Structure 1
Amino acid sequence: MNTNDGGHHDAAVDALAVREYERAGNRYTRGGRRVLADPRPEIDPFEPDEKGWVGQGLQQLLAAAVAYRVAGVDGRATQRAVEGIAAARDFETALERPGQAACLAEFVADFRVAGGLDGAEAAYDAAAERYDTAGEKIESPQALATTPLFGAAAATIKRVARGQADGEIAIKWEDLHGADPSRPGAFLAHRAQFKRQRFAGLVERAVDDGHLAAPRGTTEYNNETRECPNCGSNHVNWAGTGIVCLRCSTPTEEV
């Protein structure tokens, strides 16, 4: 994380690793609220920010909603989604760079999925329309898509998907974005269209499996000093405050 979240993000990842998903949701909630209040020392969240650092706070609230769903705490997942939607809509008054409001609308749709709320498909359609409308004002959609706001909006679906793909990267840049960056609106609108098709199913499977993966950090295959006590893999992932299994996110043991 590039924002000051008081260590809550890492604590949430540690909780995921030991399958304490409600505790993970609680720590993501605390981290998200802290980032939304004070993203970085030089950033006022109620002023324009071309990078959109508040997105990392929204990302933690979204991760919290998914973690609560996996934990079976549906009421709190709904509450967190409602909170995230309100925050995302509020920040539209501050984030003025072309395309940022559409990304916040993308977050709104994500929260509807994560919280099990109605209206997700319509929300994704609305986000896609906003990207299309903003397209003529966006000079470089590739650069915009690499800012913290857009990276944060892509992080949760990527993590849920990799938890169902043996820990590997299951959703790539080219999956989320259109094929032609010379058409900025369509290039970015593809994000919302892709999520409309995939995110709800991925969340439902995570809930059914009772498993949410740790985020992918620094990884190493065939590490000779660590082994997963759950699945026996020696492919590792530095995430949270420890070293977890790349495959199943269980804390690894030294061998």
Structure 2
Amino acid sequence: MQAKFNTFHTIMGKKGYGKSSLCDILLILNNRPALILDTTNGFPPLGKNRLFFDDMEELNLYLQLHYKEFISKKQQLILQTRDPEQFEELCITAYKCSKISLFIDEVDFYCGASLSKKSAFYDIIHTGRHQEIDLYTASRRPANISRDLTSQTDIFYLTMTTENRDFDYIKQAFGEDVSDKIKTIKPFHFLVIDKTKTNADGSNPINLLITKKEQLESIYRLNLKKESKND
């Protein structure tokens, strides 16, 4: 059996329940250089190693000139767009890199349940382990995202959903107990299902994660202190 050298994280839930905050926390705690597709302009500035770009031409030019700096300083390069073609270009660029993280906000906006085998995103899902690419995605509709993605996901983060199709998917994928809990879960609360671990009964561990604004602000402050020490 071939060892896996990357981890996939999938965040699911409706708007207003903390997906963006959780994604930002995971991004800040991420210990690798990162490429980020920010669909909703939800990522705020964070020190000098978080850089923003309007298009892939500008981002690729930066990487051509500063790739060593991107890797050594573990920079976060954020592409702010809703253009599906630029999503594909970002995936192509990510695949050319090694030992990085790729964050895709609102992934269901760019690809549905059916994913073309010719797409660069398909390559990342199925062969990204060769490049050791960690993948983080967030979406509002669990039923709408690719089964290619969910089948390869290692860690799921589930919060409130209200659509019957989404409940049906969650019930089928994780069981009725998880589906029932999702119906009453509070904002900024997530059920974390770790597929990389197994309980004695063969089930996967399920934990409750609570994200708070104060937690995010604390992480921001730690990051700024860390940058100032490195100067």
TM-score category, normalised to shorter length: 0.3 to 0.5
Larger relative contact order, structure 1 or 2 (CA cutoff 8 Å, min sep 6): 2
More strand by share: 2
What TM-score, normalized by structure 1, do the two folds share? 0.30
More helix by share: 1
